[in-house]
Amino acid sequence: MDLDESCIVRHFNFYSPLSEEDKALLATLEDSASRVRAGTVLWEERDEADEFCTLKAGWAFSYRELENGTRQILEIYLPGDIIGLREFAFTQRLAGVQMVEDGEVCFFPHCNLVNIFRQSFTLTSILFAVASRQQILITERLVNLARRNARQKLAHFLLEIYQRLKQTHAHGSDSIRLPMSQEILADLLGLSPVHISRTFTALSEDGLVIRNRHKVTLPDLEALTQEAGFDDRYLIENIRPVLGGQGA
């Protein structure tokens, strides 16, 4: 396996250059991948929280089921993401996780992460940075839900996904693959599926977004950024460089 082709290695390498030893150690988190189908629930809220998983392929989301039968989607996970970090200190799951599309998932117990803590200062530092970034993503999602209108919400989310995909796929295109239904987008952004459709149409008419099934093109990134009030500091540009570099 080419370690540099691993999504999780590319993800971590964005925070700090990795040694070959660190890459090999990190790649162990992608061993024994299990294929999962779209719609598969990886775990539900209140399940026992005794393991993490890495998303080797495919997209997933975390969610909370509400008392009135509706669902709030909390976060979108992309290939290379570690799912379940926030529950490291808890005995029960705080949210469910479901696959958006077919993919590959690697489950590993908490002790595997502890082994990384013991063996690599660099990876430990990056894991703390990853956990911090995940928390900031949730914070930005809260602001998006509470204080932005429908056009801004959708534009902001598309720009966020565009930037996140750039970090692990190194594409220079103005297009992204967005394998999310209008229902998923609605549950994520606090809108109705009909409102999502109308907002895509409005953004398209203004030349800001072009959607063709699961392909979304952003032809004028500068204008879309202004529309969304998008500031990418919470993604990577404002992250303090991880110090160190030797395995512990």
- If we measure between CA atoms, which residue out of 247, 21, 241 comes closest to residue 126? 241
Low-confidence spans in the chain with pLDDT less than 50 = 244-248
Tokens representing 132?
A: 């911090």
pTM (2 d.p.): 0.88
Q: Please, what is the end-to-end C-alpha distance for the chain in angstroms?
A: 25
What does the pLDDT read at residue 232?
A: 86
Q: Which domains, from first to last, does the chain contain?
A: 3-142 (2.60.120.10), 148-234 (1.10.10.10)
For residues 10, 121, 92, 161, the Cα torsion angle rounded to the nearest 10 degrees is -20
For residue 62, the cross-strand partners are 75, 97
The CA-atom distances, in angstroms, between 248 and each of 21, 163, 198, 244 are 11, 32, 53, 10
What does the pLDDT read at residue 239?
A: 57
